[in-house]
Structure 1
Amino acid sequence: MDRVVRVLVVDDSAYIRKVVKKMLSRSPFIEVVGTARDGQEALELVEQLQPDVLTLDLIMPNMDGLELLQTLRLRRPVPTIILSIASETGEMALEALAAGAVDFVQKPTALATEKVFDITEELIQKVKAASVVSLTNLQKVMGSVAPAPMAPSVIGSKKVDLVVMGISTGGPQALSFLIPQLPADLSVPVAIVLHMPVGYTELYANRLNEICSLKVVEAKDGVPVCPGVVLVAPAGRHLKFVRQPDGTVVTLLEARPFDTLHRPSVDVLFQSAAEVYGERVLGVVMTGMGSDGKQGAAWIKSAGGTIFTEAEETCVVYGMPRSVFEAGLSDQVIPLEQMAPAILDML
C-alpha cells in the first residue's frame, strides 16, 4: 500500500497502549496518531484526529468499547479492530461485531512479557485491511434483515453434495445475513472457514445457530458430515474430510499443513472437499482480505466443481473474491443478497 494509515489506539492500560504503538510503528505504512484510555477520551480524539482505523479494548472505565462503537456508528463510523482476550470478552466481542467492528485480534494473556509482540504481524495486517474496508457495504449488511428461509428447491438430479465457504473481514456480518436464508431441510452439508482468533469460533457458531433454522456448530474431529448442518472450522485447526469404507464422510481436524498463512485455511478446506466430493462441490468465496481460497478454488475447478464469488459491490473487503475472479476461476459473480437463491439453485 502506498498511503499511511492513521491509527488511534484505545486501551485503559498504559502498558498496552505503549506496546500496541510500538508494534504498529514497525510498519512504515502505519502511524499511531494518538492514544486514549477510555471510550470518552476516544470520542473526543476521533473528532480531533480523524483516524482511519481504531484498535479498541472492550473493558474500560467511563465508556467501554462496545458503547464507544455504538456511539461512533451513529456519529462517525471508523473501521475498528477489537484487541481483547477471548476468555474475558468473547460474547462482548461478538456484540462489537454486531455494532460495526470489522475484525479482532486475540490479546495474549501474558501481557507483561515479550509474548505480546507475537501478534505484531497479525495486528499490522488487520489494521491495513481495516483501512480499505467499505463501511458503506458493512452498514448495509448490518442494517439488512435477511428474508425468511426459502422453501427448498425441487430437487431433480442433485448437482451438489457439499457447499464450502471461505470468508474473512466482514464475514461474521455477511454470514449472519446469508445463512438464515437457507432452509432447515437443506439437502447438503455446509462447511465454512471464517478467519477468527482462537476462542471465538465456537461462540460465533452458537450465535449463528440461534438465528438460523439450520443447525450451526463448530466442527469437531471425526464427526459424520450430514445434510442440513453448517460446520464452522475451529480457529487454529484446518478442516478436512475423510471418506470411510462404508461411503460416509467424516470431519478431520489437523494442524497440518503448517505453512499456510491462516489456520484454518480456505485453500485446505476447498482442496479436501475437491478430493473427497469431486465435481459435486460448490465453493463460495466471500468478503475478505488476501487470496486465501484461490488455490482451493483451482482444486475444486480441476475436479469439475463450481465456484461462486461475492460481487465487489457488496464486499466489505474485495480481496479474496477478487483473487479468485482474476485467476479466471469464478463461475458466477453474485451480490450477497442473491447468494442464497444462487446456492439453492445449485441443489
Structure 2
Amino acid sequence: MTAPSPIRVLVVDDSAFARKVLRQVLSNAEGLEVVGTARDGLDALEKVAELAPHVLTLDLVMPGLDGLGVLRALASMPGAPRAVVVSSAGEESELAVSALQAGAVELVNKPTALATDRLYELGGALVEAVRTAARAVPHPAPDVPVAAGVPGPVSGLTPGRKLVVVGTSTGGPQALTRLLSALPADFPAPLALALHIPIGYTQAVAKRLNAQCALEVLEAEDGVELRPGRVVLARAGQHLKVERHGTVGLARLDRHPLQMPHHPSVDVLFQSAARVWGADTVGVVLTGMGEDGKAGAQAIRDAGGTVLTETEASCVVYGMPRAVDEAGLATATAPLEDMVPLLLHHLA
C-alpha cells in the first residue's frame, strides 16, 4: 500500500531563530515535510510559486509585506496554500484576529515573543494546526466593512423569548463575521458563542465583531446580562454557561468540568442552555474540527429545542457539523449564506 504524500509546509518568519525552531519541530513530525523557509512576505510569495506548499506557517509582523499582505495576495491565487498564523497574544492579538478573518485557517500562540528555547513549547499545537489546515477547504474571506449594512427590521417575533447558542472552531472567526454581520439590529434573541481559540484572543475577536455588525458584541464576563441585541463571546480558557432568574438571563464563567478537551466547550454551553431555556433554545453548529457540540446538540433536542448546522459546502472543516448531522440531531441545515433566514424562521 502506497504511503500518503507528506504535507508540504513553508515556514514564514522574519526571525532566523524562529525559522530554525519551527522547521525543526515540523520536520520531526510524521507526515510533514518542510519544503522551505521565507524571511518576509515577498520572499514567501516567491517561495509559494516555486515550491507549491500545501500549508504555510505565517508570522504577521514582518518588514516589507506583512502577514496580512500575504493573505490578501494568496486570496487571488488558485490553489493557494492554507495559512496557519503563529502569533503572540497581547499587542498582536487584533492583528491575528484580522488574519483569521482574512482567511487564515488556524492560530497558534507563541509562548514568548523572544528568541528563546521556549518557542519549542508550541510544537504539539503547531503540528496539529498544520494537519488541520491541510484538510481545510478555503473559502473567500468575507468583505465586511466597518458598520456593515444589515437587513431591515424583523417583524412578528417576540423579543427575548428564545436564546441562540453558537459553537464553532476551525474557520470560526470568518464564519462568525459572516453570520453576525448579516443579523439585523433588532434581532429578537440574545446570543451566546463558544469559539475554540487560544487564550488571549477573544477580547480582540469581540472587538472586531462589534465593529462589523449591528449588534453589541462583547467578551463574556461573569454575571453579564444576556439580552436581545447583545452577543456574548466565551472567554478563551473558561467555559461559558447560562442561567436565568425570572426574565433575566445571565452568563457565567468557570473552568468546570476540568476534563473537557476545550475551554470553552460547545457541549457545556449547549447543555446549560438546554437545562434553562429548554424548548426555547436554538443551537447553531458552524465549521470546526472534531465533535464538540454533538453531546450539547443531543441535550438541546432532548429538551425540545432546535439545532441548526452549517452544510459541508460552506465549511472550512466539516467536522463539528458532520458529527451532529450524522447523529441525526440537526433540525435543519444550511450553507452559511442562508443561515440567517433559517435562524429567523426557527425563532418565530
Tell me the TM-score normalized by structure 2. 0.91
- Offset of residue 53 of structure 1: 0.3
CA distance in 2, matches of 1:105, 1:283: 27
Q: Give the 3-state SS of the residue equivalent to 2:221 in structure 1.
A: coil
CA positional deviation for 1:340 = 0.4
d(CA) in 2 for partners of 1:270, 1:26: 38
SS in 2 for 1:239: strand
Aligned to 1:49: 51
C-alpha contact 2:306 2:346 (8 A) present in aligned 1: no
Contact 1:149–1:180 (CA<8 Å) still a contact in 2? Answer: no
Q: Which string of whole-angstrom CA distances, capped at 9 and with x for unpartnered residues, describes residues 111-144 of structure 1?
A: 4555433332222222111112212xx11x5258
* Partner residue in 1 for 2:286: 286
Q: Does 1:128 align with 2:131?
A: yes
Give the distance between the partners of 2:114 and 2:196, measured in 1 at CA.
Answer: 23
Tell me the distance in 2 between the aligned counterparts of 1:118 and 1:94. 22
2:267 is equivalent to residue 267 of structure 1: yes
Would the alpha carbon gap of residues 38 and 50 (structure 1) be closer, same or farther in structure 2, given more than 3 Å must change?
same
Structure 1: how far apart are the matches of 2:161 and 2:30?
47
Which is further off, 21-30 or 337-346?
A: 21-30
Which of 67, 70, 73 in structure 2 is aligned with 1:68?
A: 70
Q: Residues 73-118 of structure 1: CA distance to partner in whole angstroms, max 9, x if unpaired?
A: 2235321011011213222223323432122111112645554333
Which amino acid counterpart does residue 170 of structure 1 have in structure 2?
A: G
Paired AA for residue 226 in structure 1: R
Give the distance between the partners of 1:169 and 1:263, measured in 2 at CA: 15
Distance 1:239 1:54, change over 3 A: same
Q: Does 1:167 align with 2:168?
A: yes
Matched, 1:204 2:205: yes
Does the 8 A contact of 2:160 with 2:228 survive in 1?
no
CA deviation map 1:219-247 (0-9, x unaligned) = 11111211221111111111012333x45
Gaps of 5+ in 1: none
- Find the aligned partners of 2:260 and 2:301 in 1 and give their Cα distance: 21
- Retained in 2: the 8 A contact 1:11–1:17? yes
Worse-matched range after superposition: 121-130 or 159-168: 159-168
Matches of residues 235-274 of structure 1 in structure 2 within 5 Å? 235-244=236-245, 246=246, 248-274=248-274
* RMSD (Å) for aligned C-alpha atoms: 2.2
Q: In the TM superposition, what are the counterparts of 1:225-240 in structure 2 within 5 Å? A: 225-240=226-241
Q: Deviations over 1:192-222 (max 9, x none)?
A: 1112222221111111111211111111111
User: May I ask how many residue pairs the two structures share in their alignment?
Assistant: 342
**Distance apart, 1:167 and its partner CA:** 1.1
CA distance in 2, matches of 1:24, 1:274: 42
1:72 to partner: Cα distance: 2.4
Identity %: 50
Q: How does 1:2-17 map to 2 (within 5 A)?
A: 2-17=4-19
1:100: which partner in 2?
Answer: 103
Q: Is the 8 A contact 2:144 2:181 kept in 1?
A: no
Q: Which moved more, 1:37-46 or 1:93-102?
A: 93-102
| Superimposed CA distance per residue, residues 41-77 of structure 1 (whole angstroms, 9 cap, x where no aligned partner) | 2122111110000001111223322222222222353
Structure 2: distance between partners of 1:115 and 1:142: 35
Distance 1:221 1:40 in 2: 44
1:148 is paired with a residue whose SS is coil
Q: Partners of 1:97 and 1:242 in 2: how far apart?
A: 31
Partner of 2:33: 31
Counterpart position of 2:336: 336
Preserved contact between residue 148 and residue 180 of structure 1 (Cα < 8 Å): yes
Task: Tell me the distance in 1 between the aligned counterparts of 2:236 and 2:191.
Answer: 17
Alpha-carbon distance between aligned partners in 1 of 2:181 and 2:73, rounded to the nearest angstrom: 28
Residue 153 of structure 1 contacts residue 344 of structure 1 at CA under 8 Å; is this kept in 2?
no
Q: Deviations over 1:286-327 (max 9, x none)?
A: 111111111111111111111111011111111110111111
**Partners of 2:154 and 2:334 in 1: CA distance:** 20
2:239 maps to amino acid: H
Q: Provide the rounded CA distance (Å) in 2 between the counterparts of 1:159 and 1:216.
A: 17
What secondary structure sits across from 1:322 in the alignment?
A: helix
Structure 2 unaligned residues grouped into runs of 5+: none
**Whole-angstrom CA distance in 2 between matches of 1:309 and 1:191:** 16
Amino acid at match of 2:180: I
- Contact between 1:105 and 1:123, CA under 8 Å: does it hold in 2? yes
1:142 is paired with a residue of what secondary structure? coil
Match of 2:194 in 1: 193
Whole-angstrom distance in 2 between the partners of 1:256 and 1:115: 29
In structure 1, the residue matched to 2:42 is 40
CA deviation after TM superposition for structure 1 residue 23, in Å: 2.4
